[in-house]
Every structure is written in C-alpha cells, then in structure tokens.
Amino acid sequence: MAESWVNSAERIGADLHLELSGAEAGGRRAALIRALREAVRSRRLAPGTLLPPYRSLAADLGVARNTVADAYAELVAEGWLTARQGSGTRVAERAEPSGSRSRVPKKTPPHARGPRHDLRQGTPDASSFPRAAWLASYRRALQQAPNEVFGPGDPAGRRELRGALAEYLARARGVRAEPERIVICSGFAHALRLLFAGPGAVLRGPLAVESYGLGFHRELLAAASVRTVPLSLDEDGARVGELDRERAVLLTPAHQFPTGGPLHPSRRAAVVDWARARGGVILEDDYDGEFRYDRRPVGALQGLDPERVVHIGSVSKSLSPALRLGWMVLPERYVEGVLAAKGEREAWVSVLDQLALADFVASGSYDRHVRRMRQRYRGRRDRLVATLAARAPHVEVTGIAAGLHAVLRLPPGTEPSVVKAAAWQGVALDGLAAFRHPQAPASAPDGLVVGYATPAEHAYGAALDALGEVLPPG
C-alpha cells in the first residue's frame, strides 16, 4: 500500500513548495532545476537554507528519487547549492553562481544603514529587558494555565491580569479600580481606537489635547473624524482654563509629553471640576508615571474622580513595546461600550502574555524591575546633564527629572540646523517642533527631544559624545 503524502511528510522532511512548470519541455529534471534556480535567485530560498532530502522531495513532487539527486548535483556544480557529507544540501551562501552578479559595487543609502547613535524618545533600553524573570513568569503561567486559556479569549482580558493590575495600580499609582473596570488592550493607540473609532464610538469629539504630543495619535484621531483642539502649555502644564465646549480632554498629567512638566495640583483639581460641570471626561495617558527621579512619583489623576477619568497605561516604557500590553481603567458607564467595540473575542493581545504579566506583577518581579530601571535611567539623565554642563553650558535641560527623555532648550533659530547636523553625523533624535500641534502657535522655543534610555549601556557614553559634537556653540 502506497504511503500517503501526510505520513511521508511527517516522517522524512520539511515542506518545500515548487511548481514544475513546463515539465514537458526537457522533462521533470529540467523543470525541477529551473524551479530551484528561480527559488534561489528570487531569495525565496535564502542562503544557508537546508533543502529536503532526495526521498522527501521526490515523494512530495511525485518524481523519481534519481531525478531530485541529479537536479541537486547539477545545481551544486553550477554554484547554486552546496553539499557536504552529514550536513545535507543547502543553498550556497553566495546565493548566485560566480559571474552572475554585477561587479559594480552598490552603495547602501544612509537611511538603510540606520543611525550610529539612537537618541530617539519613547523606547526603553532593550538590552535591559528582564529575560530570566520574564521567562520564569511565562513558564509558571503556562504550567498553571487552565485548559480554557487555549480557547477564544475574553475581550475584557484575563481575570488574573486585571486583578493583578487593580492591586498594583492602587498601590503604586493611586488608581481606584476594580478588575471589572479594567479592559486589557495592546497599548495607548489601541485604547484611542476603541474609544473613538467606528460608528458606535464610545466617545466623540471635539477633543482637547495638549499643544505638544505625538503626531501619530493626532493622525489616528483625525482618521476617526475626531477634531482636536490644542491647549497651550506653561511651566504648570496644560492651561485647562482654556477648555470650552470640548467633550473630552487628553492629558499627560504626571509628565507632559514631550516638554516634561507635571500638571500643577490646582489645575488637576480644575480639570476635574470642568469634567463634572460639563459632563465631560478626562483621558489620562500615564505613559511613564513610575519613573520620577527627584521625588516619589505623583499619583494618577484618576484617583481624584474615577467616574470622570479614563486611566490608560502600558508596559511599553517600563518593559518593552514589543509585548503589546496595555490597559484602560474605565468609568463604569464606558465599560460595556468599550467591550462592544473590542468584539466578542480577544483579537489583539496574547492571552499567554497576559498570564505571564499577571505572574510578573503578582510575584513582585515588575516592582523590582521598575526600581532597577528607575536607578539606571536616573543615572543616564544625570550623565546627560553633566555632559551638557561641561561641553554646552548654554544648552538647558528643561522639565522635571522623570521619564525616559529630556528636552534640551536651544538658542532661538538653531533647532532645524542642529537636527540636520545630527542626522548627518548619524545621531538620531527629534526636534521639539516635530511634536507641536498644527494649530498651536508657531512662536515656540527651539529644542531637542533626547531619549536617554534608548541606547544600550555600553553605547551611551559614545552617544553623549556624538550629541555634544552637534550642539550649537555658546
């Protein structure tokens, strides 16, 4: 009895998709050679790829074993493949035979090479991800997970994670929350989509926003037909007294992004009073609230009125943006609408990652990691300030000692040239103007937004030296 394709594939090799077109012209051997040659030339088979054994590929294609052996031998002779006893047949590292490539050297465009020093904001030190502790939490979560975890996910998020977050946010951020009011999402952008997008949007514009913020968020809101109205900023944060007929306001009260100041206590109280009087809602982006270096972190605005504030957080700054894990702590009246917007099944966030994060928080590993990174980033900021004091004392670091970035105040009119010079020298950073709302006043200070958390520890000193080279003279 002939072996089925399924049984043979499971026993003797990996799958390789080839179409033997034109087999009648020259036979199956020639067609197989053409198909393999084209797969290598097009890089569908990358250099070093291990090809299936003769018997396996012959069974899959319905050809004789000798046909495959002869095709492999010819392509080895031509330089497309390599064969070594005990190592099988692989795609040659050159990927094309000698003489088939143009000998004209190709220059890699500057943007393809990437920056030599990355000082862009928004990203934690990737080399500091707590791999061992995360792996331990993931292993425990996987071992203890009930069978129903591997079915469709609850759109609200796993109860284990919502419970762990309710405890942590109350303890560390002063958030007043029950697990039933927490909805898991993939991050702040996802939260905005759930709140504003679609015909059944939970919230509608116009939405007041701070005059400096992420353009990506403004574009997302514009795509949902939400008009944003900028609030001006001063040393006390957003001027919430400018709020008028808006239905909602988006703030970064713990650490204004990107200018770096906190919302003054009197303005915190004032914006809550506005929400109560107008029936409005405050969206609190608590993007790096744990990272305050000059004093204990300020508690979340949500604690002043849980029924008027949507508290939004994530692990993008504290752990890694690669995890795609965030949360909303919602007023009771919005929970049902957000869950309806999310759908009947979890479609965004891995349930296993949720369970791992729940264990990571409950075991104390999250607290330990945040405390460790708080010390490291404080040291990074101190080194930045010291470097500027020594090499560019005319460049001021503004804002509070917090977060993963700092704003450097530049002499008037120098921002565009400094950003251009930095790019030319391979230093990736952003000018302050890139974050200004299009309708905000253009007469704003010149500055740089420097992400001191982004480089790995061993690369940070060289990045600061390179930054010093591009700053304007005093």
In tens, the pLDDT along 8-53 reads 444 455 778 888 876 555 688 888 998 999 989 988 888 988 989 8
Distance in angstroms (rounded) separating the CA atoms of residues 347 and 409? 43
Q: Say if residue 231 is in the same domain as residue 287.
A: yes
Among 109-123, 243-257, 322-336, 380-394, the minimum mean pLDDT is found in 109-123
Which CATH number goes with the domain that contains 20? Answer: 1.10.10.10
Q: Are residues 252 and 300 in the same domain?
A: yes
The tens digit of pLDDT for each residue in 170-190 reads 999 999 989 999 999 999 999
Domain boundary among 338, 364, 390: 364
Count the neighbouring beta carbons within 10 Å of the beta carbon of residue 337: 16
Report, in angstroms and rounded to the nearest whole number, the Rg of the chain calculated over CA atoms: 28
When divided into structural domains, the chain yields a total of: 3
Residue 58 sits in the same domain as residue 186: no
Same domain, 209 and 321: yes
Read off the CATH number of the domain in which 383 is found: 3.90.1150.10
Same domain for 135 and 246:
yes
233 φ, ψ (degrees, to nearest 5): -120, 150
- Are 337 and 374 in the same domain? no
Reading the block at residue 383, the tokens are 């080194």
Closest CA to 298 of 263, 254, 235: 254
Band of residue 398 on the pLDDT scale cut at 50, 70, 90: very high
Instruction: Identify whether 111 is part of a domain.
Output: no
pLDDT at 110 over 70: no
pLDDT tens across 201-217, in order? Answer: 899 989 999 999 999 99
Residue 261 contacts by C-beta under 8 Å, 6 or more apart in sequence?
A: 233, 235, 236, 237, 255, 399, 400
Domain of 439?
117-124+368-470
Mean pLDDT of 126-142: 96
Whether residue 234 lies inside any domain: the answer is: yes
95 has a pLDDT exceeding 70: no
Domain membership of residue 175 (yes or no) is yes
Determine what percent of the chain is predicted with pLDDT higher than 90.
68
In a domain, 108, yes or no: no
Evaluate whether residue 303 is within a structural domain. yes
Among 91, 108, 138, where does a domain finish? Answer: 91
Cα–Cα distance list, 20 to 31, 79, 256, 271 (Å): 5, 21, 61, 69
Mean confidence (pLDDT) of the chain: 89
**What are the start-end ranges of the E strands in 75-214?**
81-84, 88-91, 117-118, 182-185, 207-210
106, part of any domain: no
Residues 282 and 140 in one domain: yes
Listing DSSP states for 40-72 in one string gives HHTTSS-TTPBPPPHHHHHHHHT--HHHHHHHH
Virtual torsion, Cα 465, 466, 472, 474, nearest 10 deg? 10
Tokens found for residue 121: 């904001």
394 and 352, same structural domain? no
Is residue 230 scored above 60 in pLDDT? Answer: yes
Q: Is 107 among the domain residues? A: no
Q: Are residues 354 and 373 in the same domain?
A: no
Same domain, 80 and 181: no
CATH number reported for the structural domain that contains residue 225 in this entry: 3.40.640.10
Domain end among 364, 389, 407: 364
Q: Are residues 324 and 356 in the same domain?
A: yes
| Domain assignment of residue 112, yes or no | no
pTM tops 0.95: no
Query: Are 322 and 173 in a shared domain?
Result: yes
